Structure 1
Amino acid sequence: MKGIAETALDWHRAGTGAALATVIETWGSAPRRIGAQLAISGVGEIEGSVSGGCVEGAVVVEALEALEAGAARVLEYGVSDGDAFAVGLACGGTIKVLVEPIGTALPEPLLAELTAARAARRPAAYVVNIESGARRLDSAGHASRFRMDRSGFEPDGETFVAIHNPPLRLIVVGAVHIAQHLVPMARDIGYDPVVIDPRESFASAARFPDTRLLHDWPDAAVDELGLDSRTALCLLTHDPKLDDPALMAALAADVFYIGALGSTRTHGKRLERMAEAGFAPEHCARIHGPIGLDIGAASPAEIAVSILAEMIRVLRKGG
């Protein structure tokens, strides 16, 4: 998936120039979390956001000026500023934004290294000293920040750490009707979806446009993809010969979410099979089955909403 950093690098390499704006501090009711980014091209194109839309216009103007000057700058918007009403933060929120022109303040090779790490699903921390301008990438030394996906300042108040975890990934086993709704919904909120189904008539480009499709058996496909802590696995066939191999791989891995379609009775039988395969009760307790939050969902689209809601709850709140 192309992210904000990748878009900015593409614009820079295309010759239009580009800058990255990053939220480095927030107070009060600021609408975006620390680390949120906005890419601005030299011709005023934008991708991403640093607020709910209220300060983007002002940030674009500053970014274009920073590009011309070739130097980074730190912006602050909030209710105490004279232009607070003009930029839309009169509700009491305050944000501080770091603007970095690419090629001058932010070296192109450093940004390319960051995007390569993202493409390889390697966690990376972009570390910048606001006072000295020193910049580097770290792959270790920020364990707590990586685990919590939390960017922020170090205790010295000068060193900002922007966490770039691998993109969230959704692996769906079973190219069923529910999956046709779940995949685009997940993509819209930032997941990189993959659909696994050996039945090519089910997992077709016509039914799943712009989606990576694997027609292997699930155990082989999951082995090819790899499983990590930024991966959610949804088993939607309720056919043991398709679901169980992928389920066993997920239980042995560090995926953050496992959900399996089927009734309470079907799930009970699933747990029996996993126990027979040697998985302890605490491992099997990671399986969310029947899949999705109990919101009374009936249609395939509503079931997809319930699944996605449960995935978000587990990611953000655990359990």
Structure 2
Amino acid sequence: MDSIDLEVLKTSAAWIAAGHRCELITVIKTWGSSPRPIGATLAICDDGTVIGSVSGGCIEDDLIARVRNEGMRRAVPEIVSYGITADEAHRFGLPCGGTIELAIEPLSQRSRIAELLERLERHELVQRRLDLHSGDVDLSKAAPGAQMQVSERAMVSVHGPRWRLLIIGAGQLSRFLAQIATAMDYHVTVCDPREEYRAGWQVDGVQLVHDMPDDIVLSMQLDRRSAVVALTHDPKLDDLALMEALKSDAFYVGAIGSRLNNSKRRERLLQFDLTPEQLARLHGPIGLYIGSKTPSEIAISILAEMTAIKNGVPTAMLIPHAATPTAPGENACAVESGAV
């Protein structure tokens, strides 16, 4: 599955190829609360068809109405604002006093959308510079951690696999985790050297490799946009990979298993050249506590914790599986066997 931003680009490319006039609308600034973040996109075709979103719907309605009533007459990009007054804020579904600023770009072959998509297919992180005066576009390799920038002269947006996820193990839980993570704009790699687990395992858009997990971790050169999740329950596969991942800049490293198994894993990892600070980065039992029991729910739990860490949510606000208390009178062994 594609993220919504990628769908916007793909649909725009199809409209351009079919000879339609179309425009790409990007949120470039907000004041106060806003329904959509900076960088959110929407594309609109000359027949009023839209894909994507820049608000809760009211701004989209206004953009569609303008296209249908006035047509598409822009030759160069234009910056427009919505919600400057209290009346406009109410009309467009923004909080009183809230404002959203949009860049509206008329698209054509010179917009280089098709070329951008080709580079994204190669999993490149791409910087797209739009000259706000002329409409000219330059594409270049983006630096890790690059963010959207807007000046009086240009809008620079960043596109590509900003987040990577390495899943160790090709079991049923891995399938659900890979499917959901792909929909969340992760570039997912699944690693499992066990042939019996790889046979018949496939998720569209997910790379399956059979090298040893620790070799894959090293070859990926994990950065702050990377996460590693170990799901095999096999120390021979998980431990060395976790050791290398914990030494990297990966924003999240987690392993499945009960509290007892995770305690034993931590003892084993301390026998390697890990520092206590590095080991403290390991999440396990993995995931947030949401009462999950099935593989699909456990996958959601894991990605919920990953998302919270990625977004900088304070740990004091999280309830991970590792912190869930045993209910009074509940068998501790049963809790351990049910933890993820």
- Global fold match (TM > 0.5): yes
Give the C-alpha shift of residue 153 in structure 1: 3.5
User: Residue by residue, what CA displacement relative to the aligned partner does 1:185-207 show, whole Å, maximum 9, x if unpaired?
Assistant: 323332233322234554455x6
SS in 1 for 2:301: helix
The answer as to whether partners of 2:188 and 2:207 remain within 8 angstroms in 1 is no
Give the C-alpha shift of residue 182 in structure 1: 2.3
Give the C-alpha shift of residue 317 in structure 1: 0.3
Give the aligned partner of residue 259 of structure 2: 264
Give the aligned partner of residue 51 of structure 2: 47
Give the C-alpha shift of residue 167 in structure 1: 3.2
Distance in structure 2 (CA, Å) of the matches to 1:225 and 1:170: 10
The answer as to whether partners of 1:257 and 1:311 remain within 8 angstroms in 2 is yes
Of residues 59, 62, 78, the one that matches 1:58 is 62
Give the aligned partner of residue 171 of structure 2: 176
Distance in structure 1 (CA, Å) of the matches to 2:285 and 2:44: 44
Note closer, same or farther for the CA distance 1:90–1:292 as it changes in structure 2 (3 Å cut). Answer: closer
Does 2:77 align with 1:72? yes
Distance in structure 1 (CA, Å) of the matches to 2:41 and 2:136: 20
Give TM-score scaled by structure 1 length: 0.79
Note closer, same or farther for the CA distance 1:299–1:125 as it changes in structure 2 (3 Å cut). Answer: same
Distance in structure 2 (CA, Å) of the matches to 1:86 and 1:204: 55
Of residues 148, 151, 167, the one that matches 1:151 is 148
The residue type equivalent to 1:70 in the other structure is A
Give the C-alpha shift of residue 213 in structure 1: 4.6
Give the C-alpha shift of residue 61 in structure 1: 4.8
Note closer, same or farther for the CA distance 1:87–1:43 as it changes in structure 2 (3 Å cut). Answer: same
**RMSD (Å), alpha carbons:** 3.4
The answer as to whether partners of 1:229 and 1:254 remain within 8 angstroms in 2 is yes
Give the aligned partner of residue 217 of structure 1: 211
User: Residue by residue, what CA displacement relative to the aligned partner does 1:151-172 show, whole Å, maximum 9, x if unpaired?
Assistant: 3435xx5544323353322221
The answer as to whether partners of 1:124 and 1:138 remain within 8 angstroms in 2 is yes
Does 2:283 align with 1:288? yes
Of residues 26, 30, 33, the one that matches 2:34 is 30
User: Residue by residue, what CA displacement relative to the aligned partner does 1:28-70 show, whole Å, maximum 9, x if unpaired?
Assistant: 2211111111123444443322123332232345568675443
Aligned length: 308
Does 2:237 align with 1:242? yes
1:102-113 residue pairs with structure 2 within 5 A? 102-103=107-108, 107-109=110-112, 111-112=113-114
Give the C-alpha shift of residue 260 in structure 1: 0.6
**Structure 2 segments unaligned to the other structure (5+ residues):** 316-340
Give TM-score scaled by structure 2 length: 0.75
Note closer, same or farther for the CA distance 1:108–1:101 as it changes in structure 2 (3 Å cut). Answer: same
Of residues 304, 312, 318, the one that matches 2:307 is 312
Note closer, same or farther for the CA distance 1:66–1:115 as it changes in structure 2 (3 Å cut). Answer: farther
Does 2:85 align with 1:88? no
Distance in structure 2 (CA, Å) of the matches to 1:225 and 1:217: 12
Of residues 182, 189, 192, the one that matches 1:187 is 182
SS in 2 for 1:99: strand
Of residues 9, 27, 43, the one that matches 1:5 is 9
**Structure 1 segments unaligned to the other structure (5+ residues):** none
Note closer, same or farther for the CA distance 1:53–1:171 as it changes in structure 2 (3 Å cut). Answer: farther
Distance in structure 1 (CA, Å) of the matches to 2:199 and 2:84: 52
Distance in structure 1 (CA, Å) of the matches to 2:97 and 2:125: 34
Does 2:128 align with 1:126? yes
Of residues 97, 101, 119, the one that matches 2:106 is 101
Note closer, same or farther for the CA distance 1:313–1:227 as it changes in structure 2 (3 Å cut). Answer: same
> What fraction of aligned residue pairs are identical, expressed as a percent?
39
